[in-house]
Structure 1
Amino acid sequence: MSNRSCDFLPVRKSLNGVWSNMVKVMSRTVVSGILLRRFFKGKVGNGNNISFWIDPWLLNIPLMIVCPNLFRLDSDKRCKVSDRLKLTEDGIMRVWEWKRSMSVIEYGSEWDVLNSLLNAAVLSEAEDSWVWIGIGNGVFSVSAVRNQLYLDMDFSNLFVFEWCKWIPKKCNIFGWRAEMGRIRTALALRRRNIPIADVSCVLCGSADESVDHLFTGCILATRLWQHISSWCKIQNIFAFSFKDLLDVQKFVGLSGRAREIFYGIIIIGCWCIWKARNLFKFQRKKARLEDIIGEVKVLGFLWAKNRAKLSSLTWDSWCKFVIM
């Protein structure tokens, strides 16, 4: 066994980064009592790219959970489906490589279960693929995950926008309106029967320009949040909606003044993205990530020093996010 985690989402435990953080989110997020990662299932074609034991393919859970003793007995725990099942003219032939002779007494029940499941296995010449088995049509998307998460949420209490005291009113009002979907994105204007020929995001062009896409799905916004995560020394920010962005300050491990400042930085970041969007749309000024990052830091420093009663704050400590 290597030092990778024994899971169908491969990641080395010793390494950090975006993929590592995504795997952690997938491994810890629970929807209706089920881990989010269990909503993915392998669809076997030739079996060359799906792990026989570790990946979920016959069931919605991996075979190593169904038959743990047989899994431990296999000499190659990361073997592929094609290593154990061979497509021949006479059908599917099963090939086993056990560490030692298998005892019917010790493994009999698991052996019967495994063979019963394998009777339903089908191989073909097609490539393996993955399917999303949650809400939707079997195709994975951010909106499908969001809808799945919303199933488990309690909407008995209405969301109340939290006012940030150290940033200007215009930024707070902008955040409040954005949370309600009341800013003039292209999709919002079309819904108001205003003729908009193209509603795609002007910053990336990869999706319709909605509030959630502009501030969480757009590649420019994603890269901004990655930079802010590094700057503020927290785990990478992952958000599916504007509400998620407003709530992220509760889960990043900051407290006291640092948490209050971080919350303001999130709203300032959204404010600067909106400004960059408007400059491009109405003045054709290209949006550059470096300019947005610079504006967030400069405005944040100016307002924090003069409005948050941090008169001793220096530019150097601000850039290192040292909040006293």
Structure 2
Amino acid sequence: MEGLNLAMQSAVESQLIRGIMVGNNNLRLSHLIYADDVVIFSEWSREDLQYILCVLKVFFLVSGLKINISKSHLFGIGVDDNQVTSFAAGTGCQVGLFPTKYLGVPIGTNMNHVGNWSRLIDKFSSRLSSWKANLISCGAPFSQGGLNVGSLKAFNLALLHKWKWRFIHCSRDLWVRVIKSIHGEVFERAVGNSPWANIVSACNNTFGVGLLPSDVIKIQVGSGEFVRFWHDIWTGSRSLASRFNRLFHLDVYKDDMVAAKRMNNGWNWVWSREQIGSRNFELLDMMRQEIEQIQFHDREDTWIWGLSPEGTFSVKSAQDCIDFNLLPSNQSTTTWYKFLPRKVNIFLWRFKLDKLPLRWNLSSVGLEINSVTCPVCNEVIEHRDHLFFGCSLASDLWSKVRRWMGCDMPIFSSWSAFVTLFETHQSSVSCKTRIISIVTTLLWVLRRFRNGIVFNDIVLRKCMLFDVIQLYSFNWLKHRGHQIFNWNLWRLQPL
């Protein structure tokens, strides 16, 4: 397709095809090519259309690749429908109607409306229908008390910052020149309700709330030809415009590059008034001393991503940084017990963080709950420490478990009380493993019994709960923990 690209460029340069003017920089756009898909733009005229067909015919004669005109579509923007139909009939094209799709993406419709995303959502849903939760590994190292599964918000923000990195790093690419022609040279200044302005706003907000450091994109100055003097961070940890704001507002040419400010190994500014004042002279002297420390070289300027050792942008490094500042942290690390099923490990993690969907927790986040009392005893507000330690059923099960284990274990009123005792308990690793298995099974069985009451799906009876605790804890240790012991001995003395 490179031959077609050159043919179109030659036709535009010869003014046979006019193309369209984009933005305010007199940027002329005539065609876009992706793989074997071609979109050709031009002013609406029969002459331009005939020349386009001539270029396609010449391309066929030279390359042997024929464009199927009957499968092509002719679209008119701001043109009467009858004219579009007439032109299409004269060329053999089909009449194109908006909205349409290009490379699977809707074009010509307002994507701010949720309903216009339904096709894409359905497409992704069909591909994800066979997805299973067991494809996710939740057993990776944990540093903040989580399951090492990053938030979708952080991932989305990281992808948006990839656009900023490419905008800065690939300034000669066509799409960057189109964006600059429409929205201006400065990334941070794009305003309005366009998709690009929304991307810029999201990136700017990420810095504003501290999710990413403001100097995450640093510049290694070469010639200074592509570095904005005031706006880019090329010296210090913030832009010169933010640190020397008074001088910035006095400068007439605020968007000049560094190279444009340098003159005969010195610096040249054009101020909006002749006398800038003694205070501004002091600021100018401070700024001059700082920038004169920078060494310039006869090479291109390079941008460095501060979150990776290689200095190149990666979505993962941005996502990890945003997650670290966005997600709530926990002082203790999450422990993943191999002898417990995955769903029980996840339950225990949520239990420790007090993030179980109990009635009080749901009410605390604003959900309308008919009742916040414990569904087991119907006497006290249902929160974690009551349901699993203070409720009459929980107290009865804890008493049975203490007698069964045969150890001098006090009565607990909260999770923190149990953790304090367990951490100071002097016992072997094997003994602690069995205690963890038994206690976790007790909590798990209580949760299942509670859910059975709430959802009218009672599968466990009160009289069975203690026997289920003995059975589950034994099976998990034997089959998952690979510990060898006898069932009868386990029922008599587990420790």
With the length of structure 2 as denominator, give the TM-score of the two structures: 0.32
Rg larger for = 2
State the structure with bigger RCO (CA 8 A, min sep 6), 1 or 2. Answer: 1
Q: TM-score normalised to the size of structure 1?
A: 0.47
